[in-house]
């Protein structure tokens, strides 16, 4: 077993950066392709990050797993993570459908937190993919998590992340705050749905 710090080796960092860039490029190209097909832009912005070893250790600890490199690769899906923020809810499926046609990539898991929100209120469409990248003269397989969100889902998740997500709150108020955040996530979903209906109504005029 090797230490988590192996992720900081030059070779692994380069491989992960290539994988992240490849996925972000794919999302950019899909945005081009879909904008021609649908007659409007679907993705507002694309971002990505490689998870820090410390953050990986915390996540492994939370999952009750051993803190080593091999376990991290096996159980942590989002060591490499890309995110596309879309305009409307149905855009998430259109983007996912095109990604599914890419031959150098296999979707190995879909977590549909749009259909089945987490109990926090979190909504998003997560695709865990295995991506083939050319590296060191051969094809290497790398796991990447792609998060597809609407503006509203992203707005909620970013604020939730800042306010609560990574904090251990034992305060008496925390239950109330969690309920409030959940209610706001529901309200944003309702606006998301209304905006999509409005877009369709305007398109028919
Ligand atoms: P960070 O800092 O964003 O990277 P599992 O697949 O269940 O074994 P995992 O990876 O926790 O374990 O899966 P999950 O629940 O699909 O979450 C992956 C990521 O989704 C998280 O990564 C967050 O980015 C986001 N996420 C999930 N739940 C919430 C939530 O309640 N609020 C917010 N703001 N984001 C959420 P990380 O590594 O936990 O965090």
Say whether 166 sits in a helix, a strand or coil: coil
Report in angstroms the alpha-carbon separations of 134 from 16, 18, 86, 88.
12, 9, 29, 34
- Determine whether the shortest distance from the Cβ of 59 to ligand 1 is under 6 A: yes
How confident is the model over 15-26, as pLDDT tens digits?
Answer: 999 999 999 999
Which residue from 165, 167, 177, 184 has its CB within 8 A of the most atoms of ligand 1, so it is best to mutate?
Answer: 165
Which band of pLDDT confidence, cut at 50, 70 and 90, is reported for residue 171?
A: low
Strands 105-112 and 138-150: unpaired
Quick one: how far is CA 56 from the chain centroid? 16
Residue identified by tokens 């945005």 is 31
Does ligand 1 have an atom closer than 6 angstroms to the CB of 154?
no
What is the pTM for the complete model shown?
0.95
pLDDT band at 145 (very low <50, low <70, confident <90, very high): very high
CB atoms within 10 A of CB 63: 11
Name the band, by pLDDT with cuts 50, 70 and 90, for residue 170: low
Residue of the CA atom closest to atom 6 of ligand 1: 77
Cα 70 to ligand 1 centre (Å): 20
Write down the pLDDT at residue 159.
Answer: 95
State both tokens at 201: 């109504």
> Ligand 1, residues 49, 111, 122: which to mutate, most atoms within 8 A of Cβ?
122
Per-residue pLDDT tens over the stretch 48-78: 999 999 999 999 999 999 999 999 999 999 9
More confident residue, 167 or 202: 202
Structural domains in the chain, CATH included, are 4-155 (3.30.460.10)
Q: Is 126 in the pocket of ligand 1 (CB under 6 A)?
A: yes
Residue 82 has pLDDT above 70, yes or no: yes
CA 2/CA 142 separation, integer angstroms: 18
22-26, 79-83, 121-125, 133-137: lowest mean pLDDT where?
133-137
Task: Tell me which residue has its CA closest to atom 39 in ligand 1.
Answer: 59
**105, 130 contact by CB (below 8 A):** yes
């Amino acid at each position: 077993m090797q230490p988590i710090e192996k992720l900081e080796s030059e070779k692994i960092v380069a491989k992960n950066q290539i994988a992240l860039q490849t996925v972000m490029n794919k999302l950019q190209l899909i945005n081009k392709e879909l904008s021609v097909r649908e007659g409007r832009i679907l993705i507002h912005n694309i971002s990505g990050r490689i998870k820090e070893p410390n953050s990986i250790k915390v996540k492994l600890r939370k999952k009750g797993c051993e803190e080593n490199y091999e376990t991290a690769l096996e159980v942590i899906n989002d060591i490499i993570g890309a995110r596309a923020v879309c305009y409307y809810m149905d855009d998430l499926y259109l983007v996912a459908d095109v990604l599914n046609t890419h031959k150098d990539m296999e979707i190995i898991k879909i977590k549909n937190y749009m259909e089945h929100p987490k109990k926090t209120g979190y909504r998003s469409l997560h695709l865990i993919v295995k991506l083939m990248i050319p590296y060191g003269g051969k094809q290497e397989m790398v796991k990447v998590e792609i998060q597809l969100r609407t503006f509203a889902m992203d707005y909620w998740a970013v604020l939730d992340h800042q306010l609560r997500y990574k904090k251990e709150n034992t305060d008496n108020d925390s239950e109330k705050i969690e309920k409030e955040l959940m209610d706001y996530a529901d309200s944003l979903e309702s606006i998301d749905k209304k905006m999509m209906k409005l877009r369709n109504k305007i398109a028919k005029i």
